[in-house]
Structure formats: C-alpha cells, structure tokens
A and B are shown apart, each in its own frame.
Chain A
C-alpha cells in the first residue's frame, strides 16, 4: 500500500471562488522522492499545505476527498498530531524563524522542546541535523543575522531534526546559490534513501532530473502530467503548457529539428546533453 494517498482531493480556500486543487489523485511510496513543478498559482503550495495538514485544519475552506499518510486520514486527525508525522518547510525562511530563540542551535531545538525530547537526546539530534545540512558553524549566530540561503538551511534543519516520516518542502532552495541547492538536493536524496518520503516543490529542473524519483506537473490545480523526471521534464506537453524547461532540453529540441540530436529522448542535465551529442 502506498505511504501517501490523495483520493479525489478538491479544495477551495474560504476566499477563493473556484477550487485551488481539483480532483487530485496521487500515490507516493515510502522512501520515494517526488518533485512538484508548476507555474505560479498552480496550487503547489496549497498541495504542500494539504499534505502537511494545514489545508484544511488551519486554513479552513471546503475540502472533499481523502488525504491519507501512513495509514491515517487527515480528516480524522488533529493538526498537532499530524505534524509529528509530516514535516513542512516553506519558501520564505524569514517567517519560519520562531522568533523566540536567540541562536541557531536554540532555533533548531525549538521543535524538539515542543514535543518533549529529553535534553541530552535533543542536543545530540540538533548537532547531527546541523552537520547533515552543513550549518554546524552557524550554531551560535542569531537566526536573524543570517543570509536568506542560510536561513533556508536553518528552516530545513529545524524540520529534519524532528524526523518526520513525510517531508514536505515548498521551494526550499529559492534563495540559495547553485552549490547550496545541490547540497540540499543531496541531503534530501539521502533522507529518501534512509526511508523518509519526500515531496519537494522546485523550479530547478536540472537538479530534479538528477535527484528525484518522480515528477508531478501541476497546472491550475490539476495534475497535468506525472512520471519519471526525464519523461516529464522533456515532454512537449510541458512546453505547450508554458512550463519552464532546462536549457539543455530546449537546445537539444532545436538540434533535433535540424537532425543534430539523434537520440529518441531529450536531455535535461548537462551530462545527458554531452552524452547525447557525442553519439
């Protein structure tokens, strides 16, 4: 059985006229790393909130269908228990700083304090999580003194340290440079290898192609397409619907028209492009 199941989920915020999510059907296996792409306003963040329980428990509004994670139904749970299983980090790192802590170390420990983890274990877990995401040297800094990218790492670490079974990340690298982005993808991949299920909204398709198991393309609240990263990210359907594609994909697509790209499949990453042009 799938670890995450969305069955016919349709959702409308209290203030929106038409549904923001429409008839979403989705199954995710345990340990799978799924990436969600889509234009602005497609409903990606709303999908994240739905997985993390904030839709509908926090935002209210009208929902139909069922959301199930780890055998539990969202509709039959309360938010305070749901969040123990599903971790959420979202885009704006500044607003994710608790505002009650003076150092990064304390900030990351905040969630563990809330769920009553004993002090010694807490320290150990915070240290481990910080070294995993490469922010050990920020431990004594004030969270407010950090750059956007560093704050995003702190936000990610603050959720990872709670060891959720399902990790939901909404554009977690939007303020990071390529090196930081790569590291985050690497960490997330590693967590997935260890059995954590991951849903990550991202725009950076080259990294998705390299790290994710599956891609879901969302448009106007509906799943336009889903499948293996390469199939989805190079499909004509995506281009026709105005999704951004990798420059290697568009280059090879042009090349194919001129007969310069011989392979059947188009590339997403630089490596694939180099490989393909060599043939």
Chain B
C-alpha cells in the first residue's frame, strides 16, 4: 500500500542523469520564456522543440502523454474556452453560442495562454517525473538550503498520501461503528464531523512524536550534514545552467525593450 509517494519514475536516461538544479533551472527557463518571449508562437514552438523532445530524452514519453491527455490538456482546454469567450478583445465575431461570442483576437489570445499553461505544467511534470525528490533535496542542501527547509518540503510532499490513507482508516473504523458515509451529501457532511477530531488531534500528537523522533536522530546537530546520495554535477550541467540563464535574460530583456 502506498509504495509510491512521489511522481518520480526510475529510468536510465539523459534527463535523469542531469543535476537536479540544472533541471530546475531548465524548468524555470521554459516557463519564463513561454511567458515573456515577445513572439506569438513561442509557447507552441516550445512544445514541439522542447517539451516533446525532453520527454523522449527522459524516456518518459508514454507516461508524459498519458498525463498530458488526462490532466494537462483538459485543464488548458478549459482555460482556452473561458478566455476565448470572455476576453473582451476584437470586434469581428467568428462564433456565437447564445449570448457568448468569440472573436478572432480572443481566440488567438486564449490559444497562446492555454499553450503557455501547457508548457508550464508540462515542464513541471517532466521535472518531477525525472528527478528523485531525495536527490533534489540533497543537492539543494549541499548548496546551502537549510536542512529544516528541505525537510519541510519533502515531508509535505509525502504527507498528502498519508493523510489520505489515515482518513480512509478512520472512515472505515467509524463506519464499522455505524457512521453513515454513503447517503446524501449534506447528511454525510454532517456525519463527517466525528472524523475531524481524530484526524486533527491525532496529527498534533503525531507532530510532537515526530519532532522527538527526528531530534533523536540528530536533526538539529550542528555538524555539517552529509548525504547518502551522490548527486552528479558535471561541467556540462554548469554550462547548461549558464546558457539557460542567458536565454532567460534575453527573453525578459526583449520583452521589456519591445513593450
């Protein structure tokens, strides 16, 4: 049960072997360029020239496509419709649906924004899928991110599935004592109140015990921490990070200059 608490997919690929910080910079670069580069087709080109090739380089094209079809495209599609109908730009109406109408301008505007969001979510997805959270944190702590900070991030990432599992356990327990979790919504909402106590109070006691447990394992020790995982950081990584930084600066600079 709950073997998988992260999005990470273990593969042996070029993208997996990059340093986590490089991938983080790459992700941010893609997002910033998609949003700031002053050329209409930028996000569309990024999808073809960066997102898809990256998913291939990471050997996760299949998994990525599934996520894109199930999650990212529906979300971006919804955004597209909202903006295409409600963005009050342009005058020549090309489509009418009762009182709602689309103009050429609003469609173009919405299409670009939807693509920008698609690039953003896709870039993050690829980052999470190809980067092990422990490696990311090891690398960032090595570079000076405080250990407490790293701990909070990782344990938060893990806590949702745990809370879910716990809520499920409590629900089963309460149901076996006759709690109604299956009839109408309002009735159910009311009868869920008994769950809040154990979930919240349980959590507080847990937080105290967990604090003791990690303290007992030297968490606040003043020694310089080491890390189990050796995280690669090659000359190529460093080159790539600088190159991406230059791209970001050019993109933002052009944006400011042209506007």
Q: Which of B75-83, B96-104, B219-227, B248-256 contacts A (4 or more CB under 8 A)?
A: B219-227
Known A-B contacts A79-B220, A100-B154, A144-B2; A113 and B226 likewise in contact (beta carbons under 8 Å):
yes
B65 an interface residue at 8 Å Cβ cutoff? no
CB proximity to B under 8 Å, residues A104-151: 105-106, 109-119, 122-123, 126, 141-142, 144-145
Q: Tell me the minimal C-beta distance from A102 to chain B in angstroms.
A: 6
B217 touches A162 (CB 8 A): yes
> Is the C-beta of B63 less than 8 angstroms from some C-beta in chain A?
no
Set of chain A residues within 8 Å of B162, measured between Cβ atoms: 99, 144
Residues of chain B within 8 A (CB-CB) of A117 are 226
Q: Chain A: which residue is nearest B138 at the CB level?
A: A113
The reply on A271 being an interface residue by CB < 8 A is: no
- Collect the chain A residues with CB atoms within 8 Å of residue B214's CB: 98, 110
Residue of A nearest to B228 (CB): A109
Complex: A90 Cα to B210 Cα, angstroms:
11
Q: How long is the Cα–Cα vector from A119 to B5 in the complex, in angstroms?
A: 25
CB < 8 Å: which of B205, B217, B223 contacts A110? B217
Task: Confirm or deny: A73 has a beta carbon within 8 angstroms of a beta carbon on chain B.
Answer: no
Are B218 and A115 in touch, CB under 8 angstroms? yes
Contact A80 B218 (CB under 8 A): yes
Q: Smallest CB-CB separation from B214: which chain A residue?
A: A98
Whether, in the assembled complex, B195 has its beta carbon less than 8 Å from a beta carbon of chain A, the answer is no
Task: Evaluate whether A114 and B221 lie within 8 angstroms (CB atoms) in the complex, with A96-B213, A142-B3, A142-B5 already known.
Answer: yes
CB proximity of B108 to chain A, nearest CB, Å: 44
CA–CA, A98 to B211, complex, Å? 9
Q: How far is the CA of A94 from the CA of B3 in the complex (A)?
A: 15
Q: How far is the CA of A2 from the CA of B255 in the complex (A)?
A: 74
Which residues of B from 79 to 93 have beta carbons under 8 Å from A?
none
Asked if B206 is an interface residue, CB under 8 A from chain A, the answer is yes
Residues of B contacting A225 in the complex (Cβ-Cβ under 8 angstroms): none
Chain A's closest residue to B161 (CB) is: A144
Question: Are A119 and B218 in touch, CB under 8 angstroms?
Answer: no
A218 vs B9: C-alpha distance when bound (angstroms):
51
A-B contact count (CB 8 A): 125
Interface size on A, residues (CB 8 A): 47
Residues of A within 8 Å of B223, CB to CB, are: 114-116
* A162 and B218 contacting across the interface, CB-CB below 8 Å: yes
Say whether A144 contacts B154, CB under 8 Å.
Answer: no
| Highest count of chain A CB atoms <10 Å: which of B151, B159, B217, B227 | B217
A111 and B212: CB pair below 8 A?
no
Chain A residues closer than 8 Å to B147, beta-carbon distance: 114
Contacts A80-B222, A96-B209; is A52 near B216 (CB within 8 Å)?
A: yes
Which among A81-89, A181-189, A251-259, A261-269 touches the partner chain?
Answer: A81-89
Q: Which 8 A-B pairs have the closest CB atoms?
A: A111-B217, A95-B209, A114-B218, A116-B223, A99-B155, A96-B213, A115-B218, A109-B228
**What are 16 of the A-B contact pairs (CB < 8 Å)?**
A87-B216, A98-B210, A100-B154, A102-B5, A102-B6, A111-B217, A113-B228, A114-B225, A116-B221, A119-B228, A142-B3, A142-B4, A144-B161, A158-B217, A162-B217, A162-B218
Residues on A facing B (Cβ under 8 Å): 49, 52, 54, 58, 79-81, 83-84, 87-90, 92, 94-102, 105-106, 109-119, 122-123, 126, 141-142, 144-145, 155, 158-159, 162
Inter-chain pairs besides A83-B217, A96-B213, A113-B226, 20 sampled, C-beta below 8 Å: A79-B220, A80-B222, A83-B218, A88-B212, A90-B213, A97-B210, A98-B155, A99-B162, A99-B210, A100-B155, A101-B134, A102-B6, A110-B217, A113-B227, A114-B225, A115-B221, A119-B227, A122-B226, A141-B3, A142-B4
